[in-house]
Amino acid sequence: MTALTLIGKPGCHLCDDARQVVTRVLADFPDVTVDEVSILDDEVLFERHVEEIPVVLIDGAVHTFWRVDEARLRAALADA
């Protein structure tokens, strides 16, 4: 099963935009699990990604950061 993780933080407009894209795409991939985590709750994630949020991971690997391209995300999930 494919796992998608959205890393962001509250009050981040790019994170809100990414969440909308992820939600649209995942409607067509019901077997993909999704987890959303905040860099404010994890010191390691904060240090690693503070300048890159939002970050989308697919099966633990960075897929993209800042802006989420819907077509690219769909293609990556189809290949996963």
- Tell me the per-residue pLDDT of 3-59, one tens digit each, with 9 for 90 and over: 999 999 999 999 999 999 999 999 999 999 999 999 999 999 999 999 999 999 999
**pLDDT at site 35:** 97
Q: Which amino acid is at 17?
A: D
- Tell me the per-residue pLDDT of 18-34, one tens digit each, with 9 for 90 and over: 999 999 999 999 999 99
SS (H, E, C) 11-68: CCHHHHHHHHHHHHHHCCCCCCEEEEEEHHHCHHHHHHHCCCCCEEEECCEEEEECCC
Distance of CA 44 to the CA centre of its chain: 17
